[in-house]
Structure 1
């Protein structure tokens, strides 16, 4: 069979073939006897696989002892894959140090906040700041790079694996030394550090750098700025390890691109991926669906954020699951259509590579019940047939490869520093979840059928008509000026409770909340009034608030009260406000309304900003529209968010692929079944279906 060529991010300079999607998985041949390998390559070709990530957890096999190397098996696998037309994203294999290393050098093992050693037996049992680990890891990286620098199968380097997934916070003596060096670089002097940390409180003033430690287990709440700086440092320490491996690879193989797999999913807050993105040649991400009513929304949110961290350029979906995972309390299999829908929703947000963990489901080990492209049941299974079907669909979608995400008119700002700071201890409530509030706003946009970009803080906002910055807790003075400039320039800003509260040192802004945003919003809050778990308040617009309320006073006649509290301690006072500023506005939502409650509020704010949906009214909220574009052509991805067929009257274009009731319709015009052109020009999406249309400018 003919394989679709790899996307530009993975092609060698001398590869002149037209690009296609990358499709594949983590491949772990060292888990299997040699006779399985040939069968693997045959099935990969049948499924349309054209790339695998190789040797991710193979350090112990590659280097069975300090002075012993075994490349023979890896040479054979590399040659076998190349002969089968399958490219290799070769891992540096440093994610899990072998037993001989941790036995000889137990000082590389991480230490918990309570001073306990994290022992071998799982993975990622290494300190990001350990000079001993760094020495051995770079020795391995150098050996791999020098051996495979000219191998024709090699198309990319995969640094480590999910950096920081289990070892981001290390409180060892190595970490303490590195933390002090990081603080010296950040603050310069102890006086500056003492000011930033507010060490006059609780007699914490430092007079020597050696006195400074990570925020280890303490008698009470550790210094909040110390905690925040340790989070900053820990993300930077992992970034430095990424750089160290990357520099070896660039020195030996300067023409081979380097990436590492981010984990923009769920509550993986510890790594500042927007800051890391500049360190890799292309952005890669791992994503796993988490059960719940917002599961599909969260997938879209994460893919959206990944695409914008990548600057709107194509990125690599390094891992997701074909079906069930193994690490949730209950691990359910995906339903019919969900494998393709989930994969293509990532593609819709800019992924030019669709890969899974893993190729063949393990027979032993901690992840033996995690699904794979080839399940325990083997190739004669519905799951493998769905995998093969997706491979064919990706080949049909080859024209999309290399296109960029088309910007929306609205944006949700996502800020890692606020995320870190807002969920620390000693706060008005421990129930606040930063990412959940952002996700609720995203769900409201989806419910209204309005496209929105999820963008990291620092993105140029002037391109957007409306910007939502939920729980923007940390607002340095410079950021306050930027937001004010955005509004006075005609932009429409929305922010929420517990925003504008602290500066970059986690020091409270004085004079009333929300600090430097008071004048812009036209309100003043003297005191927070968070709600106990399970308690709620009613607003006079019919919505219900939980988690938080504010005692708001409007400070000017130009402030419009969009909703007031009807019940609770703040009854009769403003709950949602909006201040007009020339052609722009600044709105404030003082309670958690949840996705459903935000929908009506957001509709009013969008209307004021002149932002509307692009789909016909009956499909809004039921179908997600995402757009990619290149050279004047737009690719519309239409994803059915429901378990029922959805009609899309008036939506036209060349159908590149559409899931029908009987499978995939891959021809323009369809046959009248669900998911294709119904014969009367009516596009119908099957339950959990996807359609991809190529459209020219001006098309309805």
Structure 2
């Protein structure tokens, strides 16, 4: 991986997607002038350019792309250049319909949208790499080229394909992983329901069945599918690197509704970690999820600065209710990403489309044009990012870790589980939201990470955990750390095999408890706690061995426990607590930095002897934050405290 300065932009960069194919050359020239006015540093082009560049097989037309490249270069704007392979052109799927993706029910999905291809298709791969070679050869050494952009949002729509090409690739992947058919049978527990295989050729993708499917097979298919998409990225990246020395990346989708890529396994292949994030108003707290996604992206970047490759100036077009941002929210959301490690802020897209599926998606230049309030907010954001230039390259300070696992997400939400109301991300978000409301900045880390530098570690619903990953958490606590582990953790190993002897399996000794039986609750059912709160979704028949009871149900059964383990402490939360109750437990482990004001985010970035404090006010009242230094957004000196108006952000360079 290249260093944080891999994208050669001065300060905090501002960028956008530019779909020039949708507009005439006269509009291009107007856009160049407006991009200069808006302070655009980086433009992503040729993301969906395949049908324009190759209108017929092996017939290439680069005239328009050449013009756009030179126009951007002449205006001092750097290129985030796509390979153009994100969606195949109609001629490819007409000539080779076998490249089309197949769903779990065996039906084919057709062109008309995007990503109408199987990630494992050798035919698609051949054509995509041929186009990538043409693009790389032509532009690989162009002076305006800052970054290569492989495909786009790999796996957003086609992550799981069940066609015959995928079946063949899945079998090869299984053979490489398990080695022998006997090992596969053991890993999948195929003695159950007469599923034993005698040869890898008998194995199929887990297409829809008449009954519940094998959960270990489903899990391995998720792993295979993530790896297949990564393999495609690697293939395109190899082409680019043969012709160019510029950094290569693809845009991750670290967000609440995308779960099919295990980005922990992808991160090392990226020269720059880039993420796409949009507020999801289907969630109970979309702003808290924004902060979580930013912290998780920073975790994928190993704590280094990262790039927000796509976000929205206002509404999106793909949710049931596509809400516009309130005045000031664009700046507040964007600077929250910067506070949590982003050194480049980009938007989809530059100019709002006249036609197509995304014509009602917001843009930097809206349908209303430059006479709009949104355009003025874009200019305000540009000025704010310019004022924060000296923050670039610094890193976020965090003394707490939250363990997150895509594999555990997959294993938790299999078809047969104790409760369909048990959703992994709900529990992760609840724990993160409690930390955020306590004013605690958390690093999001993978299972098995080195935890030694953290004062506390939060482990929500880590259902699947290996022996080594569990041992790392236990060793951390034994050495003096503090860990909070929530229910349904430690239950199965990496083959989805239950750890016998009582729950929570791998963490029984660490936590000093044994649960003999899960006792999930019905929708709407509540259980009173002795301390006055209420529990929902989940309970357990729990008893303590070495732990003490922190909170119990009204009948005396433990609900929250604390255990001395070595030199450290571990807490177990065996139910879904109300938000205030969860905060109270986490407060015991991590403290409280905000005094209970959940509308305030306080994050520090530092480096080279400099320290910057971001104070984000999501609330409706002005607040004062004690600090002394120079406030960068307004350019004012701060002595004693900084006033942060309702809905505003202030960034203070602290005095040494």
Give the TM-score normalised by the residue count of structure 1: 0.92
Do 1:261 and 1:286's aligned partners in 2 also have CA atoms closer than 8 Å? yes
1:582 aligns with 2:541: no
- Residue in structure 2 matched with residue 550 of structure 1 by the alignment: 540
Do 1:96 and 1:125's aligned partners in 2 also have CA atoms closer than 8 Å? yes
1:527 aligns with 2:517: yes
- Residue in structure 1 matched with residue 200 of structure 2 by the alignment: 209
Q: CA deviation at 1:505?
A: 0.3
Do 1:560 and 1:578's aligned partners in 2 also have CA atoms closer than 8 Å? yes
Alignment partner of 1:625 out of 588, 597, 602: 602
- Residue in structure 1 matched with residue 7 of structure 2 by the alignment: 10
Alignment partner of 1:494 out of 446, 469, 484: 484
- Residue in structure 1 matched with residue 415 of structure 2 by the alignment: 425
Q: CA deviation at 1:380?
A: 1.3
Q: CA deviation at 1:295?
A: 1.4
Cα distance between partner residues in 2 of 1:219 and 1:209: 22
Cα distance between partner residues in 1 of 2:240 and 2:614: 37
Q: Give the match's secondary structure for 2:162.
A: coil
Task: Tell me: CA distance 1:412–1:594, structure 2 relative to 1, closer, same or farther (3 Å).
Answer: farther
Cα distance between partner residues in 2 of 1:89 and 1:366: 23
- Residue in structure 2 matched with residue 435 of structure 1 by the alignment: 425
Alignment partner of 1:591 out of 575, 579, 586: 575
Do 1:127 and 1:170's aligned partners in 2 also have CA atoms closer than 8 Å? yes
Q: CA deviation at 1:636?
A: 0.9
- Residue in structure 2 matched with residue 464 of structure 1 by the alignment: 454
Greater mean alpha carbon deviation, residues 351-360 or residues 436-445: 436-445
- Residue in structure 2 matched with residue 652 of structure 1 by the alignment: 628
Q: CA deviation at 1:594?
A: 4.2
Cα distance between partner residues in 2 of 1:585 and 1:681: 37
Cα distance between partner residues in 2 of 1:177 and 1:164: 19
1:87-166 matched pairs, under 5 angstroms: 87-166=78-157
Do 1:361 and 1:376's aligned partners in 2 also have CA atoms closer than 8 Å? yes
1:19-418 matched pairs, under 5 angstroms: 19-253=10-244, 255-291=245-281, 292-406=283-397, 408-418=398-408
Do 1:622 and 1:646's aligned partners in 2 also have CA atoms closer than 8 Å? no
Q: CA deviation at 1:646?
A: 1.3
Greater mean alpha carbon deviation, residues 194-203 or residues 433-442: 433-442
Do 1:228 and 1:420's aligned partners in 2 also have CA atoms closer than 8 Å? yes
Do 1:187 and 1:193's aligned partners in 2 also have CA atoms closer than 8 Å? yes
Deviations 1:356-402 (A, max 9, x none): 00000000000000000000001111101110111111111100111
1:565 aligns with 2:564: no
Do 1:440 and 1:594's aligned partners in 2 also have CA atoms closer than 8 Å? no
Cα distance between partner residues in 1 of 2:587 and 2:4: 39
Do 1:7 and 1:19's aligned partners in 2 also have CA atoms closer than 8 Å? no
Greater mean alpha carbon deviation, residues 541-550 or residues 113-122: 541-550
Cα distance between partner residues in 1 of 2:304 and 2:72: 28
Deviations 1:61-107 (A, max 9, x none): 01000021110000000000100111110001111100011100001
Do 2:448 and 2:472's aligned partners in 1 also have CA atoms closer than 8 Å? no
Alignment partner of 2:636 out of 644, 663, 668: 668
Cα distance between partner residues in 2 of 1:140 and 1:146: 10
Q: CA deviation at 1:696?
A: 4.2
Q: CA deviation at 1:137?
A: 0.1
Cα distance between partner residues in 1 of 2:174 and 2:359: 43
Q: Give the match's secondary structure for 1:379.
A: helix
Do 1:473 and 1:499's aligned partners in 2 also have CA atoms closer than 8 Å? yes
Cα distance between partner residues in 1 of 2:592 and 2:439: 8
Q: CA deviation at 1:174?
A: 0.4
When the two structures are aligned, how many residues end up with a matched partner?
A: 653
Say what the alpha-carbon RMSD is for the aligned residues.
Answer: 1.4
Q: CA deviation at 1:7?
A: 8.0
Deviations 1:563-590 (A, max 9, x none): 0001xxxx21100001112320111000
Q: CA deviation at 1:457?
A: 2.2
Do 1:639 and 1:689's aligned partners in 2 also have CA atoms closer than 8 Å? yes
Do 2:312 and 2:362's aligned partners in 1 also have CA atoms closer than 8 Å? yes
Do 2:628 and 2:655's aligned partners in 1 also have CA atoms closer than 8 Å? no
Do 1:502 and 1:508's aligned partners in 2 also have CA atoms closer than 8 Å? yes
1:506 aligns with 2:483: no
Q: Which runs of 5+ in 1 are unaligned?
A: 1-5, 12-17, 658-664, 670-676
Task: Tell me: CA distance 1:588–1:106, structure 2 relative to 1, closer, same or farther (3 Å).
Answer: same
- Residue in structure 1 matched with residue 648 of structure 2 by the alignment: 689
Q: CA deviation at 1:481?
A: 1.8
Greater mean alpha carbon deviation, residues 57-66 or residues 536-545: 536-545
- Residue in structure 2 matched with residue 673 of structure 1 by the alignment: none
Q: Which runs of at least 4 in structure 1 moved beyond 4 Å after TM superposition?
A: none
Q: CA deviation at 1:332?
A: 1.4
Q: CA deviation at 1:316?
A: 0.7
Cα distance between partner residues in 2 of 1:318 and 1:627: 22
Give the TM-score normalised by the residue count of structure 2: 0.98
Q: CA deviation at 1:638?
A: 0.8
Do 1:497 and 1:590's aligned partners in 2 also have CA atoms closer than 8 Å? yes
Cα distance between partner residues in 1 of 2:142 and 2:465: 50
Q: CA deviation at 1:140?
A: 0.3
Task: Tell me: CA distance 1:282–1:7, structure 2 relative to 1, closer, same or farther (3 Å).
Answer: closer
Greater mean alpha carbon deviation, residues 446-455 or residues 376-385: 446-455
Do 2:347 and 2:363's aligned partners in 1 also have CA atoms closer than 8 Å? yes
Task: Tell me: CA distance 1:216–1:67, structure 2 relative to 1, closer, same or farther (3 Å).
Answer: same
Cα distance between partner residues in 2 of 1:507 and 1:40: 57
Cα distance between partner residues in 2 of 1:523 and 1:219: 39
Do 2:459 and 2:486's aligned partners in 1 also have CA atoms closer than 8 Å? yes
Task: Tell me: CA distance 1:331–1:612, structure 2 relative to 1, closer, same or farther (3 Å).
Answer: closer
Task: Tell me: CA distance 1:594–1:49, structure 2 relative to 1, closer, same or farther (3 Å).
Answer: farther
Q: Give the match's secondary structure for 2:624.
A: strand
Do 1:577 and 1:588's aligned partners in 2 also have CA atoms closer than 8 Å? yes
Cα distance between partner residues in 2 of 1:150 and 1:596: 56
Do 1:627 and 1:635's aligned partners in 2 also have CA atoms closer than 8 Å? yes
Cα distance between partner residues in 2 of 1:22 and 1:325: 22
Q: CA deviation at 1:264?
A: 0.4
Q: CA deviation at 1:520?
A: 1.3
- Residue in structure 2 matched with residue 14 of structure 1 by the alignment: none
